[in-house]
């Protein structure tokens, strides 16, 4: 008996009526029997194919080939103009995530609404609700109106609903993973889990290496017709060859040799992994002898800075064992005028010991923060070895041996402090999170949520220095990396955060005390020439500033002050409009940041690009911010971004990204928002050296006894040259 296919399409066509002017639609309704007032556009013509149950089918083709139209026909959101489609099973589609969400409904209500649309009964939704919320990671906001969600929260919830209905058929249109960081990985793993469970999957993507790695068969569409179908490697090779021939035949054509990256984005177009020159998906290697190479091709928006790339090596449990990033190694990728480039990374004499290891590839932004695209694994390396060494890597080493001498058992000196029999200093790692959060509670009298701790220290290793007494942590000096512009030049500074000492050890505030041990260890090991960070800064109170100066740790380079204004009448403004800022406005944010950086070319200023705004405000795990984009009323040109935080009595202007000339306009906009929200005043923290730029009528200022401290350099040219706001601080 022949198995019933999951999808069967027979002679499917889809046409659209295109009108040159609106009045032609009326003419067509009145006199359409006599003549046609439109021209037909055929998105699909005579398309026939079948998809077996459990098959993973990839759709490839240029933009406008008909891929998205075909997927919408399969999902039932479009009706074919001719032909027939039979779909056997429940379909979950990842096309426009959250398109059916009601902004006025809460997240909980939208879960029930969206799941019901996907075919679940009320009892089924009840049974899966907790799983949906847990996967989305927005439990604290599930009963808030969706209109208050950030774009990241919105997408998380929509994806969680769409993939929790236990579909028989999953349709994915350019959405192999959504969101950022950990959630992007969770979403990709969920899709791969459906594949392993034998679900039928249709994927449309411009990422050829992902299509080849995931799919069992590929369908190539061009101008609405099927050009080829079959083995992924063969069809993709033919497709790339056709694109190359097209580009060579028409030198003036705008189409590059590979499909262009969307504006504001970048993607991988090819990945080749080879062991001693032999390429493949499964490779054989000998520990300490085989050269492993990873060659990749990419295409990116040429208007953006060149992207960066990282290669990761994973164990069988998918734990990252080693990685190499171009930005970390000081390597800048090169591109042609269309934004395309290639790079090859080689691990000479691979030091991994016996085992099977996955190779992952990640395409990042130029600073290694935003992950444009990734795949893991692109290949598996099976390593053999001679000898009986244990572990995962053979590390370079040197041996020295001698007989023990008197005094060898004395404690090692604490970093930067000489010797101490009472305190033991060492670097802190993420694994000590629990003990450090206990110290935070003891030092400050309240808890820091674990999610906020992880958010703050993501990517830092070490996260700081700590001091133990009798094996217990009594002091910690933390630091987080912050990209800055110093007088127009780009570099990475370190910001001192979570400086804390246990109450029982606070009495020793000298060079022999735990605070000095922890601080000097971090500063001497991380900040200054030849270290990871050339400059460090922080925001101690005046009391702690004086202590740091006395111990020779800090130098005062400025201070923060608070500005305040009364609310302004919320009257219509002809000059500008306000709307909520989200990830979709990233291009505007980056353009505004470039103009702001140019205006502050004589200052030290923290980078405020789209990646920073997303991480600092849109993805903050505990605080809620209101970022607003101001645009010109008629041209819609971006004027600036303000980040606000409602603190009941006062509305706080936490941050802004704008040319300096637009600051008065943004203050005016924030004052009007304060009036709308019922706040009694608008406040803002700003470094005193730049407070003059905020001078507007009715502004008041006051000292708040918070200093700007500098470490790592004695350059007096940095004094009163810092642009810093509340959003730059750790405690706002």
Does the pLDDT value for residue 287 go beyond 70?
yes
- Please answer whether residues 553 and 711 qualify as being in contact, where contact means their C-beta atoms are separated by less than 8 angstroms: yes
Q: What is the pLDDT of residue 248?
A: 46
457 vs 470: CA distance, rounded Å: 26
Q: What is the pLDDT of residue 509?
A: 61
Does the pLDDT value for residue 41 go beyond 50?
yes
Does the pLDDT value for residue 61 go beyond 80?
yes
Query: What CATH number matches the domain at 266-384, 1.10.10.10, 3.20.20.480, 3.40.50.2300, 2.70.50.60?
Result: 2.70.50.60
Q: What is the pLDDT of residue 456?
A: 86
H or E element that contains 337: none
Q: What is the pLDDT of residue 99?
A: 56
> Which of 21-30, 566-575, 606-615, 707-716 is predicted most confidently?
606-615
Q: What is the pLDDT of residue 524?
A: 83
**pTM for the complete prediction?**
0.47
Q: What is the pLDDT of residue 414?
A: 41
Does the pLDDT value for residue 124 go beyond 70?
yes
pLDDT higher for 643 or 431? 643
Q: What is the pLDDT of residue 412?
A: 34
Given this structure, which CATH class describes domain 96-167? mainly alpha
- Please answer whether residues 367 and 484 qualify as being in contact, where contact means their C-beta atoms are separated by less than 8 angstroms: no
- The tens digit of pLDDT for each residue in 382-395 reads 998 877 677 888 88
Q: What is the DSSP string of 101-121?
A: --TTSBHHHHHHHHHHHTT--
Does the pLDDT value for residue 247 go beyond 60?
no
CATH topology of domain 1-89+169-181+191-255: Rossmann fold (3.40.50)
Q: Per-residue confidence at 600, pLDDT binned at 50, 70, 90?
A: very high
- The CATH 3.40.630.30 domain(s) of the chain lie at 435-558, 562-728
Beta bridge partners of 495: 480, 537
The label of the residue with tokens 């005016």 reads 668
- The CATH 3.40.50.300 domain(s) of the chain lie at 1-89+169-181+191-255
Close Cβ partners of 359 (under 8 Å, ≥ 6 residues apart): 273, 292, 294, 311, 312, 313, 314, 376, 377, 378, 379, 380, 381
Which has the closest alpha carbon to 372: 176, 137, 154? Answer: 176
3-state DSSP call for residue 494? strand
The CATH superfamily label for domain 435-558 reads Gcn5-related N-acetyltransferase (GNAT) (3.40.630.30)
Q: What is the DSSP string of 195-261?
A: HHTT-EEEEE-S-HHHHHHH-SEEEEEETTEEEEEE-HHHHHHHHHHHHHHHHHH-TT-S--SSPPP
Q: Per-residue confidence at 174, pLDDT binned at 50, 70, 90?
A: low
Q: What is the pLDDT of residue 718?
A: 87
Window from 29-43, 88-102, 383-397, 493-507 with minimum mean pLDDT: 88-102
Mean pLDDT confidence for 684-704: 92
Which has the closest alpha carbon to 142: 130, 127, 151? Answer: 130
pLDDT above 90 covers a percentage of the chain that reads: 29
Give me the chain's average pLDDT, please: 83
Distance set, CA 433 to CA 92, 234, 391, 440, 636 (Å): 39, 50, 25, 10, 46
493 vs 718: CA distance, rounded Å: 14
3-state DSSP call for residue 59? strand
Mean pLDDT confidence for 114-131: 85
Residue 139 CB-density burial (10 A; 0-12 exposed, 13-18 middle, 19+ buried): exposed
Mean pLDDT confidence for 252-260: 43
Mean pLDDT confidence for 20-48: 80
Q: Ramachandran region of residue 224, left (φ > 0), alpha (ψ -120 to 50) or beta?
A: left
Does the pLDDT value for residue 571 go beyond 70?
no
Distance set, CA 432 to CA 392, 417, 424 (Å): 23, 23, 16
Does the pLDDT value for residue 507 go beyond 90?
no
- The CATH 1.10.8 domain(s) of the chain lie at 96-167
Mean pLDDT confidence for 678-692: 94
What number does CATH give the domain 562-728?
A: 3.40.630.30
Q: What is the pLDDT of residue 594?
A: 93
Window from 27-31, 156-160, 221-225, 635-639 with minimum mean pLDDT: 27-31
The number of angstroms, rounded, from the C-alpha of 257 to the middle of its chain's C-alpha atoms is 28
- The tens digit of pLDDT for each residue in 659-681 reads 999 999 999 999 999 998 889 99
Which has the closest alpha carbon to 651: 668, 666, 670? Answer: 670
The number of angstroms, rounded, from the C-alpha of 191 to the middle of its chain's C-alpha atoms is 19
686 vs 718: CA distance, rounded Å: 16
Q: What is the pLDDT of residue 701?
A: 92
Q: What is the pLDDT of residue 220?
A: 93
Peptide bond just before 492 cis, omega within 30 deg: no
209 vs 107: CA distance, rounded Å: 36
- The tens digit of pLDDT for each residue in 305-351 reads 888 999 999 887 667 788 898 887 888 899 998 889 999 999 999 99
Q: What is the pLDDT of residue 253?
A: 38
> Which of 213-217, 361-365, 704-708 is predicted most confidently?
704-708
709 vs 85: CA distance, rounded Å: 68
Does the pLDDT value for residue 552 go beyond 70?
yes
Q: Per-residue confidence at 545, pLDDT binned at 50, 70, 90?
A: confident
């Amino acid at each position: 008996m022949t198995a019933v296919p999951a999808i069967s399409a027979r002679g499917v066509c889809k046409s659209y009526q295109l009108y040159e002017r609106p009045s032609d639609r009326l003419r067509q309704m009145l006199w359409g029997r006599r003549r046609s007032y439109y021209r037909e556009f055929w998105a699909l013509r005579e398309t026939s194919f079948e998809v077996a149950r459990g098959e993973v089918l990839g759709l490839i083709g240029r933009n406008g080939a008909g891929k998205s139209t075909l997927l919408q026909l399969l999902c039932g959101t479009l009706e074919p103009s001719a032909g027939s489609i039979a779909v056997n099973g429940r379909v979950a589609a990842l096309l426009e995530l959250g398109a059916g969400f009601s902004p006025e409904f809460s997240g909980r209500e939208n879960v029930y609404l969206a799941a019901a649309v996907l075919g679940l009964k009320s009892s089924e939704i009840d049974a899966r609700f907790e799983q949906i919320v847990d996967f989305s990671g927005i439990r604290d906001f599930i009963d808030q109106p969706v209109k208050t969600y950030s774009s990241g929260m919105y997408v998380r919830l929509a994806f969680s609903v769409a993939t929790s209905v236990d579909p028989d058929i999953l349709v994915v249109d350019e959405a192999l993973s959504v969101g950022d960081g950990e959630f992007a990985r969770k979403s990709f793993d969920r899709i791969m889990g459906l594949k392993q469970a034998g679900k039928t999957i249709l994927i449309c993507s411009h990422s050829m290496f992902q299509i080849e790695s995931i799919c069992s068969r590929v369908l190539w569409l061009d101008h609405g017709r099927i050009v080829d179908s079959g083995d992924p490697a063969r069809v993709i090779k033919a497709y790339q060859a056709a694109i190359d021939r097209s580009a060579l035949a028409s030198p003036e054509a705008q189409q590059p040799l590979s499909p262009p990256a969307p504006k504001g984005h970048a993607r991988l177009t090819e990945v080749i992994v080879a062991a001693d020159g032999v390429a493949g998906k499964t490779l054989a290697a000998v520990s300490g002898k085989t050269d492993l190479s990873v060659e990749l091709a990419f295409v990116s928006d040429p208007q953006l800075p060149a992207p960066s790339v990282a290669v990761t090596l994973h164990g069988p449990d998918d734990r990252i064992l080693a990685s190499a990033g171009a930005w970390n190694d000081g390597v800048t990728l090169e591109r042609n005028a269309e934004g395309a480039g290639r790079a090859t990374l080689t691990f000479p004499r691979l030091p991994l010991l016996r085992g099977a290891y996955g190779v992952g590839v990640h395409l990042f932004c130029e600073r290694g923060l935003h992950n444009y695209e990734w795949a893991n694994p692109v290949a598996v390396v099976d390593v053999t070895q001679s000898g009986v060494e244990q572990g995962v890597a053979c590390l370079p080493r040197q041996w020295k041996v001698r007989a023990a001498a008197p005094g060898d058992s004395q404690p090692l000196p604490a970093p930067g402090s000489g010797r101490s029999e009472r305190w033991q200093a060492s670097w802190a790692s993420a694994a000590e999170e629990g003990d450090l959060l206990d110290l935070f509670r003891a030092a400050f009298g309240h808890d820091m949520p674990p999610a906020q701790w992880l958010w703050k220290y993501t990517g830092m290793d070490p996260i700081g220095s700590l001091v133990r007494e009798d094996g217990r942590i009594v002091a910690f000096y933390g630091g987080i990396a912050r990209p800055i512009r110093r007088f127009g030049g780009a570099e990475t500074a370190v910001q001192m955060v979570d400086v804390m000492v246990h109450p029982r050890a606070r009495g020793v505030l000298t060079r022999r005390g735990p605070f000095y041990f922890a601080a000097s260890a971090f500063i001497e090991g991380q900040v200054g020439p030849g270290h990871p960070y050339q400059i460090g800064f922080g925001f101690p109170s005046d009391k702690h500033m004086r202590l740091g100066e006395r111990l020779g740790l800090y130098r005062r380079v400025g201070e923060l002050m608070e500005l305040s204004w009364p609310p302004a009448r919320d009257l219509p403004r002809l000059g500008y409009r306000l709307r909520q800022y989200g990830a979709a406005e990233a291009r505007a944010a980056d353009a505004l940041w470039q103009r702001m950086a140019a205006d502050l070319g004589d200052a030290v200023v923290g980078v405020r690009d789209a990646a920073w705004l997303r991480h600092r405000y849109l993805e903050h795990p505990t605080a809620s911010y209101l970022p607003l984009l101001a645009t010109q009323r008629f041209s819609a040109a971006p004027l600036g971004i303000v980040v606000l935080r409602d603190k009941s009595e006062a509305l706080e202007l936490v941050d802004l990204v704008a040319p300096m000339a637009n600051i008065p306009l943004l203050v005016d906009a924030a004052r009007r928002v304060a009036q709308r929200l019922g706040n009694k005043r608008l406040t803002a923290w700003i470094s005193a050296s730049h407070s003059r730029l905020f001078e507007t009528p009715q502004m008041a200022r006051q000292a708040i006894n918070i200093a700007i401290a500098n470490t790592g350099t004695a350059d007096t040219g940095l004094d009163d040259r810092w642009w810093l706001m509340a959003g730059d601080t750790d405690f706002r």
